[in-house]
Structure 1
Amino acid sequence: MLRVFGDGIDRLWDVYILEGDPILLAMAINIMKMHEKSIRKLQIENFMDFVQTTLANNFGYSDDETMFSLREVLSRLKSDGLHIPPPPKPEDLPEVPTKALGPILARPISSIREEQEEIKSRRSHAACEWPEFDSAFDEMYEFYYEYYVNRGVDSDSEAATDLATLS
């Protein structure tokens, strides 16, 4: 909505500060009211394009006309009592949280930090306990690195392994 009414955004912002949230609904209705004829001619697929590009480039009305129409729409909404949502019914229960915000907040931060340190130390011990894995990984890395550097030529047999020499 703010992109649509680009030049008059300062005036709309002032009215928003004065009236509050109801002005957003009123401006949306105002845009629909002012461009009703054009909107009725559109297919549903073209509506968003019309609002986002056509109206953003050329709103079609002066700022004064738009603000006057906005005043009419807002006064109509107020007279009908539709400018704010209705209050909750007495039988509606207020929304209250049923559980704590999360498991992290259920205990002190010091215990969380201790647990993090324990996990970090487990990881470092796990890496030290598997030297066989490390050596196998290093051998595989060296093999693929040499294969890549030599562009598919096996350094031991000097035989080309790429598809061009196999055919």
Structure 2
Amino acid sequence: MCSPNLGSPVFTGGYLYLFASVCDTPGLGACAAGRVTLARVRAGPAAWRDPAAYEYRAPAGWTRDAFQAGAVVSAAAPYAVHVADYTALGKGLVMVEQRGLDGRYRLWRAPAPEGPWRPAGDGAVPCSGGSGLDQCRALIGHPELSTRRALLLSYYDPAGHHITARAVPW
């Protein structure tokens, strides 16, 4: 099933593409196994307002049935995802897959929203403090602040109760 947490808008080819993280095997503040799903709708406000206009990527192609949405990234375990277009930096689309509330992430790259998505690195941002669900979260990549050598990530660090930015090598 496609999760209702559609986000990370990407416009291309006359469509608005939206990604969702689905955790199939949740753990405490983490995801052990899950999926990244994809929806699309024509790139125009009239279509965005019409739930029947949305299509979901399924193994056999596009379908209007959200329950048929399949994974577009193999081997994902997404607590959350953020996708943005880094084509101007020669990186194509980049997905930041947040693995849990401990700051771990994986990077994926693809030439198009449908993929193929390929692993492009992993790491962890330094977070401290916090407990329960008040831990490291909201890892977001910023193509407008990144360079060909480094991805700029922002994230919430509970130690300082604020958003922190960090450049990580591609």
Q: TM-score range with shorter-chain normalisation?
A: under 0.3
Q: Which has the higher contact order (CA 8 A, sep 6+)?
A: 1
- Please, what TM-score do these two structures have when normalized by structure 2? 0.25
Whose Rg is larger? 1
TM-score, structure 1 length as denominator?
Answer: 0.25
Q: Which has the higher helix share?
A: 1
